[in-house]
Structure 1
């Protein structure tokens, strides 16, 4: 699988102003920061691939809102702590990374062939908790994209089998501008 995807030219992506209206303001108390347009474009290209059947977007509402409506309504699930995206969204799943894996919906267990995770904290304990949920959600041939600090590279490689990519995701978080933010992937 190629990480680059199909290109964004004909994806029918939602317009920037509508995205921002849907997203509203970041909630920094929840450690919530939204991705830049170039980063959203890459994630959307991957989500829109025809070989992707079921997507778990863990703590990644900006990606969910940026996806074309058809993908949001048929393939993507937003697993999110912030309930403001719940109202009128049948694809919203309340997700507290501290909750046991058993709290995840049964219909998603073992069903997701693409998981994109953006943990709110960069410590190993948080990554371990996300890792348990990722393992429970993933299908037999899963693909994982994870954003976290470069400091976690060794843990991510050994525990999740994901490796740093050349693409550096951009986000509004101040520390993301310091060059510490990385994209890790289990596929090319």
Structure 2
């Protein structure tokens, strides 16, 4: 008997699905290679949400509002840190770099796809809330965070990171059910502004800050 007869075989559908998966992976790698070859193309990349990482991108109106808040509250020569909200990075960077303001934006994110934005990218795992470069401590005029999971552990550890980075203003976007935790851990107040997502989520989301964020948007 031929040993090959005992080897497992894939169905036509499974084989086709695997081919599609590998082709998609190759397309993404080709994009990353192209971005690394041409720095100017980095801002043109649009990554898909990775639901396994609890990623849900903001809709355009929310991005526009948060970019406006960030631009208005970070002083010239100031710095903003974006924690676990990569959908904001490119719009904020474009707005800031449209003028000679000297403002800087840093993305702290677990998803290593966004390392194409280095040196403005720092790998971040909320399970190690202070495993960050020493020079980032208390160096950001504004910290904007969107913890990936609606759990007490996640908001507690993200709050620890926020306190490590912040020297002034703070904005947190998270589920409305986390209100008590946000207020207790960071002494933030609920805003009228409500962040929305491209794909409607079952959980209601809210925004919290330690300054009058709504006044900026009026």
The aligned residue for residue 64 of structure 1 is: 89
User: How far did 1:67 drift?
Assistant: 1.8
TM-score in terms of structure 1 length: 0.80
2:169 is equivalent to residue 143 of structure 1: yes
- Note if 1:94 corresponds to 2:126: no
Gap runs ≥5 in structure 2: 1-40, 213-218
User: Measured at CA, do residues 122 and 160 of structure 1 come closer, stay the same or move farther in structure 2, by a change above 3 Å?
Assistant: same
Aligned length: 166
Q: Give the Å deviation of 1:84.
A: 0.9
TM-score (norm 2): 0.70
Of Structure 1 and Structure 2, the greater helix share is in 2
Does the 8 Å CA contact 1:55/1:75 hold for their aligned counterparts? yes
Q: Of 111, 118, 127, which aligns to 2:139?
A: 111
Flag as ranges the 4+ runs of structure 1 deviating above 4 A.
18-21
Inter-partner Cα distance in structure 2 for 1:70 and 1:41: 10
Cα distance in 2 for partners of 1:63, 1:79 equals 11
Q: 1:106/1:122 Cα in 2 relative to 1: closer, same or farther (>3 Å)?
A: same
1:31 aligned partner: 54
| Secondary structure in structure 2 of the residue aligned to 1:152 | helix
Q: Distance in 1 between matches of 2:142 and 2:156?
A: 19
1:181 and 2:205 matched: yes
165, 172, 188: which one aligns with 1:162 = 188
Q: Secondary structure at the match of 1:49?
A: helix
Structure 2 distance, partners of 1:123, 1:58, is 16
Determine which structure has more spread, i.e. the larger CA radius of gyration. 2
Whole-Å separation in 2 of the counterparts to 1:20 and 1:174 = 25
- C-alpha distance in 2, partners of 1:20/1:36? 18
Q: Specify whether residues 100 and 165 from structure 1 end up closer, same or farther in structure 2 by C-alpha distance, changes over 3 A only.
A: closer
- Map of 1:131 onto structure 2: 159
Report the CA distance between 1:106 and its aligned residue: 1.2
Aligned partner of 1:75 among 95, 104, 119: 104
CA RMSD of aligned residues (A): 2.2
Of stretches 18-27 and 90-99 in structure 1, the one that deviates more from structure 2 is 18-27
- The answer to whether the 8 A contact 1:40-1:66 is kept is yes
Contact 2:174 2:205 in 1 (8 A): yes
- After the TM superposition, which residues 42-53 of structure 1 pair with which residues of structure 2 at under 5 Å, given as runs? 42-49=65-72, 51-52=74-75, 53=78
